[in-house]
Amino acid sequence: MKHANLIASVVLVGLGLVALGTAFHWTVNRVYVPEGQSLQLRYKGPLLFGNRDEPPAGELAEWGQIGVQRELRGPGRHFYCPIWWERKPIDDVVVQPGEVAVVVSKIGKPLRSGEFLVDGELDGEKRVTQNGVLRRVFGPGRYRVNTYAYDFKIVKTEKQVEPNGATKITGWVDIPTGYVGVVTYLTDNTALKKKAGTQDDVLPPGIYPINPREQQVDIVGVGYWETSISVDVKKGPDGKEIHDDSGEPIAVPHKGINFASSDGFDIQLDFTAIWGVMPSDAAEVVRKFGSIEAAELKVIIPQSESICRNNGAKMGAVELLVGETRQQFQTDTSQDFQEVLKDKDLTLLYGLVRHIYIPQEVRVPIQQGYIADELTLTREQEKLTAKTEANLREAEQKVILEGARTKLETEKMVANAMAEGHKKAKQLVAEIDKKISLLEAKKTETAGKAKFAAEQLQNEARAAKFQLAVDAFGDPQAYNKWQFAEGLPETIDLRLFYAGPGTLWTDLKGIMPTLPLTQEAGAPAKVTAPSAKPATPKK
């Protein structure tokens, strides 16, 4: 009885310990990790017994090693005793659209002097083994990050304005249509065989996550732009332009492109350059000038003024006003400008001299001379027009006369053609009638011959038929007998008898037995004969 009570007590104690352990496990050891979080664990090591295995310095601990564990536990229910484990829920890192994440590795071996970027991934076989900024950046998404080992820095589009006016963009880089991205490496990239500096290869339009510690991007427009240098003109109180007596606007002195002509007159002009940058030249433009705006300020505007002045100073005021020499000035200016921009890796589409302001004392006499010349030409053209008008009227009368004459000749030709046609038609009708008569006679002759031939053939065929029949019976008498027999009525009754030598009359008494003894009144005498047929014809 005592043993039974002891066993029962032991069982009760065991069940109590199991219940206590289960309750401890489900209350103290249990850790619930919700969605959007992970569980970071640090193993404290054994209390009294066991190996105190530690990871290498600067590394995360693997399973069984003391320290912060490399592997994170995802959402769900986990059981780790707080006596041996430090349990820390951490939030996932969420990178939104329009953002990138720059990651700094806090573990691993230190980098060599002068280096600050490391290659690798957050986990896996290619995980980071050095301390520094990861070369790779992480675009929009959700990432489970061990914050003990990595720091995530969220950056958006970052802009940095350089002293030369260039804008360097990093982070979330959006290159729109009509632009390219010129990439500048801040350090060497041995994996891609890139050296630090501006790269020749450009990025086409698109979205790119750019590491601010490794690259910078200049967004450069490609295509053509318009740069104009214009002369200011005087305006009245109402804002309208003021014109001189000849109708030309009055220029404000020393505005626009201003120079002295070869004969000492002050000349002003408007100039427009249509220039641009090709994608293949974008990187060189960034190297030389830093930006499109800097290229315009450093090259386009100064060269426009310089080339126009140099070419214009070689010509007189009159030459700049007259058509052919002015066109030559335009051509020389455009060609020289094109050569200059080509050396700067810029492209010129057009270099246009829009308007040249010539002093009034030079322009008015020339214009008046041109007006007189134009009036002379106008008078000459008026005379030529009058003469042409008279020739036109004369030509119209000739046309009417020729039309009437042509009509009469046409009617005469039509009448002649009709008469000739009727004559030829009668001749043709007579010839056709003659041919028809000949054909009718020939037809009659042919029909008579055919009819005679047909009758002859029928007679010959009939004779041949009788001849074949006679030949079939052997002689004509047999055939005649057969014909006679075939012609007898079917009701005839023949009695054959043999008559010997002598006459029929002497033998009539022998016939009597074959004649009928009685006959019906009014009925014709009936002679019967045994069924007899002529002898079978000889073959």
CB 263 within 8 A of CB 255: no
Per-residue pLDDT tens for 277-309? 999 999 999 999 989 999 999 999 999 999 999
Average pLDDT over residues 427-454: 85
Average pLDDT over residues 261-275: 90
**Pairwise pLDDT comparison (223 vs 123), residue with the higher score:** 223
Q: How many CB atoms lie within 10 A of CB 509?
A: 8
Of 11-15, 274-278, 314-318, highest mean pLDDT: 274-278
Q: What is the pLDDT of residue 253?
A: 82
Least confident piece of the model among 74-83, 118-127, 143-152, 200-209: 118-127
d(CA 329, CA 312): 7
Task: Name the one residue in this structure whose structure tokens are 């007998």.
Answer: 481
d(CA 438, CA 492): 63
Q: What is the pLDDT of residue 277?
A: 94
* Beta strand pairing call for 215-221 and 266-277: unpaired
Q: In this model, does residue 376 exceed pLDDT 80?
A: no
Q: Where are the beta strands (DSSP E) in 252-361?
A: 257-260, 266-277, 347-357
Q: What is the pLDDT of residue 399?
A: 87
d(CA 205, CA 478): 126
Average pLDDT over residues 151-156: 94
Q: In this model, does residue 508 exceed pLDDT 70?
A: no
Q: What is the pLDDT of residue 499?
A: 56
Per-residue pLDDT tens for 310-335? 999 998 888 888 778 888 999 999 99
CA 204 to chain centre: 21
> What mean pLDDT is reported for the chain?
83
Per-residue pLDDT tens for 67-111? 999 999 999 999 999 989 999 999 999 999 999 999 999 988 888
Task: For the chain, give the percent of residues with pLDDT over 70.
Answer: 87
Measuring CA to CA, how many Å separate 22 from each of 15, 25, 270? 10, 5, 94
Average pLDDT over residues 469-495: 73
Average pLDDT over residues 467-490: 75
Nearest residue to 333 via CA among 265, 257, 226? 257
Q: How many CB atoms lie within 10 A of CB 64?
A: 10
Per-residue pLDDT tens for 329-373? 999 999 999 999 999 999 999 899 988 888 777 767 666 666 666
Task: Name the one residue in this structure whose structure tokens are 């009659």.
Answer: 444
CB 268 within 8 A of CB 359: no
d(CA 525, CA 531): 18
**Pairwise pLDDT comparison (493 vs 127), residue with the higher score:** 127
The two three-digit tokens of residue 396, written as one number:
């119209």
Q: What is the pLDDT of residue 52?
A: 80
Domain coordinates of the chain in residue numbers?
A: 24-91, 93-221, 239-358, 391-473, 477-539
**Pairwise pLDDT comparison (483 vs 59), residue with the higher score:** 59
The two three-digit tokens of residue 450, written as one number:
């055919």
Longest alpha-carbon distance in the chain: 183
The two three-digit tokens of residue 127, written as one number:
């995980």
* Beta strand pairing call for 132-138 and 100-105: antiparallel
Average pLDDT over residues 374-399: 83
Q: What is the pLDDT of residue 28?
A: 84
CB 482 within 8 A of CB 537: yes
Average pLDDT over residues 391-408: 86
Per-residue pLDDT tens for 113-139? 888 899 888 888 888 888 999 999 999
Q: What is the pLDDT of residue 504?
A: 52
Task: Encode burial over 13-27: b for 16+ CB neighbours within 10 A, e otherwise.
Answer: eeeeeeeeeeeeeee
Quickly state the pLDDT bin for 518 (edges 50, 70, 90): very low
Q: How many CB atoms lie within 10 A of CB 222?
A: 18
**Residue 130: helix, strand or coil by DSSP?**
strand
Q: What is the pLDDT of residue 367?
A: 63
Of 10-14, 211-215, 235-239, 530-534, highest mean pLDDT: 211-215
Quickly state the pLDDT bin for 515 (edges 50, 70, 90): very low
Least confident piece of the model among 21-30, 184-193, 222-231, 504-513: 504-513
d(CA 539, CA 472): 6
CATH class of this structure's domain 239-358: alpha beta
Measuring CA to CA, how many Å separate 228 from each of 326, 338, 435, 487? 19, 16, 98, 137
Q: What is the pLDDT of residue 502?
A: 54
The two three-digit tokens of residue 318, written as one number:
């009159």
Q: What is the pLDDT of residue 531?
A: 42
Q: What is the pLDDT of residue 526?
A: 45
The residues with which 223 forms a beta bridge, in sequence order, are 277
Least confident piece of the model among 112-126, 133-147, 472-486: 472-486
Measuring CA to CA, how many Å separate 165 from each of 156, 210, 282, 390? 21, 21, 16, 73
CB-count burial class (<10 Å; 0-12, 13-18, 19+) for 396: exposed
